Amino acid sequence: MAVIGAGYWGPNLVRNFQSSSAFRLRWLCDLDVERARRVLGGYSTIQATANLTEVLADESVQAVAIATPAATHLDVAMAALRAGKHVLVEKPLAASHAEGRQLVTEAEQRGLTLMCDHTYCYTPAVLRIRELVHGGELGDVHFLDSVRINLGLVQRDIDVLWDLAPHDLSILDFVLPPGVRPVSVAAHGADGIGAGRACVAYLTLHLNTGAIAHIHVNWLSPVKVRTTIVGGSKRTLVWDDLNPSQRLSLYDRGVDVAGPDELADDQRRDMLISYRSGDMIAPALGEREALRTMVEEYARAIHSGTPALTDGRAGLRVLSILEAASRSLASGGTMIDLDEEDL
C-alpha cells in the first residue's frame, strides 16, 4: 500500500501501517519529496516519491491512505479510486459535500472501500461510549456538550469550525443510536485576532428527539480542554480525554421527573422532581492507540467488502453539517435545517 501526504498527520499513518501485519507499505508520496524522505528517516526501505502517478501505477499497491490538504482530497482520492485502489482519506472527507458525494458514488460503483479517518472514533473511550449509548446504559440522550479548545495553529485555508469540529461531529455521528440524528444547526463565531476567519466558534445542533448537542471549538485558549458530556435519562457520562487515568466517568446521578406526560403544562410545573445521587463508575479502558484500531478496521473493510465503521457516508454526513454550519455562521447564527437525505 501507499501513504500519500507527509505533512502533519502522514507520519502517524506511516508508523501505524508499518506496524500492521495486514498491510505492506511500499510508498510514501509527497509533492515535496524531501519532506517524505525526512519522515522516513535514514534507515527505511520504504520508497519516497513525489510522483503520484507512479504510485497508482504500481499494481502491488491495492490501497492508499491520503493525508493531503482537504482541497486536494477530491483529485487525489478520485485518481486512486479510478486506478482501482481502496481509499482511506483524512478528515474531512472532501472540501465540500458535493465533492465528497462524487467520491462516495465512485467508490460504490467500483465496489471499492472508501473510509474516512475519523481517528477519535477508534479511541478506546469513544468505542466504549458508543457501546454504552447503543446498549441503552445512558437511557435516552438529552444533551451532548463537547469542548475542544487549545492554543491551536491558525489555519491558512479553513476556519476553526472546519479544523476542529469534524472531530466532534464524527464522534456525534458515531455514538448516537440508530434513528437519532441532527435536524438543524446554528453556528456563532468570532475572529478576535483579525485572522480573516473564525478562531472561536460555537455550534448548536437540535436532534430529531428534542435533544440538543453543542460544540465549542477554539484556537485561542491558552488552556487545553477536551471534554464531552453525554447526558442521558438513566446515566450521564463525562469523557475527559486529557485525564488518562480516568477518561470516562459514568454518573448514576441525575434528575428524575415523576408524573404522567399528559398533564397540562401548568400542572407539570408542580409535579415532583426528584434527585438521584448515586455512585460514579470509571470503567477500565485499555490505552490502545486509536490509529492502530483504525488501520485494522480499514483492513477488515477491504477484506470483507463491507463498509467501514466510519465509511464515506459517515464522512458525507459530517460534511453536510459543516456546510450548514458555515452558512449559519455567515448569516449571523440563523438556525439552518439539515437535509434529511444527507443524514
Which 163-192 positions form the footprint of a second copy (CB under 8 A)?
186, 188-192
Using the minimum distance from each CB to a second copy, give the nearer residue, 111 or 269. 269
Q: Is 275 near a second copy (CB under 8 A)?
A: yes
Using the minimum distance from each CB to a second copy, give the nearer residue, 71 or 255. 255
Residue keyed to cell 400542572: 267
Residue 275 contacts residue 264 (beta carbons within 8 Å)? no
Stretch that binds a second copy, among 66-74, 79-87, 89-97, 330-338 (CB under 8 A): 330-338
Q: Nearest approach, Cβ of 151 to a second copy (angstroms)?
A: 6
d(CA 214, CA 206): 9
Sequence-distant (6+) residues with CB within 8 A of 196 are none
Residue 341 contacts residue 119 (beta carbons within 8 Å)? no
Q: Is 300 near a second copy (CB under 8 A)?
A: no
Using the minimum distance from each CB to a second copy, give the nearer residue, 12 or 221. 221
- 119: Cα separation from own chain's centroid: 7
Stretch that binds a second copy, among 82-90, 100-108, 254-262, 307-315 (CB under 8 A): 254-262
Within 33-72, the residues that bind a second copy by CB under 8 A are: 41-46
Q: Nearest approach, Cβ of 9 to a second copy (angstroms)?
A: 18
- The answer to whether the peptide bond before residue 283 is cis (omega within 30 degrees of 0) is no
Residue 141: CB atoms within 10 Å: 22
Stretch that binds a second copy, among 86-94, 123-131, 252-260, 301-309 (CB under 8 A): 252-260
Using the minimum distance from each CB to a second copy, give the nearer residue, 7 or 307. 7
Helix (H, G, I), strand (E, B) or coil at 194: coil
Using the minimum distance from each CB to a second copy, give the nearer residue, 51 or 334. 334
Q: Candidates 60, 109, 111, 279: give the one binding a second copy (CB under 8 A).
A: 279
Sequence-distant (6+) residues with CB within 8 A of 100 are 92, 93, 94, 312, 315, 316, 319
